[in-house]
Amino acid sequence: MPEGSVPQGSLPQRSVPQGSVPEKARPARIGFLLSQLGAHAGEIFAAKTRDLGITPSEAGVIRIIGRSPGISQRELAETLGSVQSRVVALIDRLEGAELVTRTRSAADRRVQELRLTESGRAVLRELRYAAEAQEAAIVDGLTPEQTAELFAL
């Protein structure tokens, strides 16, 4: 085999600078760990939304309408970065579940204003409780200073 060539199926040896941490002793990469944390948090959130009878997408819509009562379907689509037909389908499901109401705008009858029903507000409260509990679990074991630093990142 010619000098400097690498046998097929093996990787070339990298030179490790003096004093650096050996590859095997290094912890997992931060990007990987953050990805895993995000995936785990997403699974927990999806399970909570299932318990409430909605999807994560519907939960997002409920949160936005809760923050902006009377938001139009068009404004909601823009906020979500979604096409209006997708938003209409989401609202149809939420209206069918009696979580959201659609009413014509008094200012412009072409516009449908969205509001949460009492049941929708109850679901929003449950989502907030779940988010607070999940956040507490994520920062459990961190000092207040470490938690503040994490939020600042």
pLDDT at 125: 97
Tokens 């009696």 -> residue: 98
Residues with Cβ within 8 Å of residue 116, at least 6 apart in sequence: 62, 65, 66, 69, 99, 100, 101, 124
Both tokens of 134, joined, read: 């999940």
Check: pTM over 0.85? Answer yes or no: no
Q: What parts of the chain have a pLDDT lower than 70?
A: 1-27
| Domain 41-139 part of CATH 1.10.10.10 | yes
Give the start-to-end residue ranges of the domains of the chain. 41-139
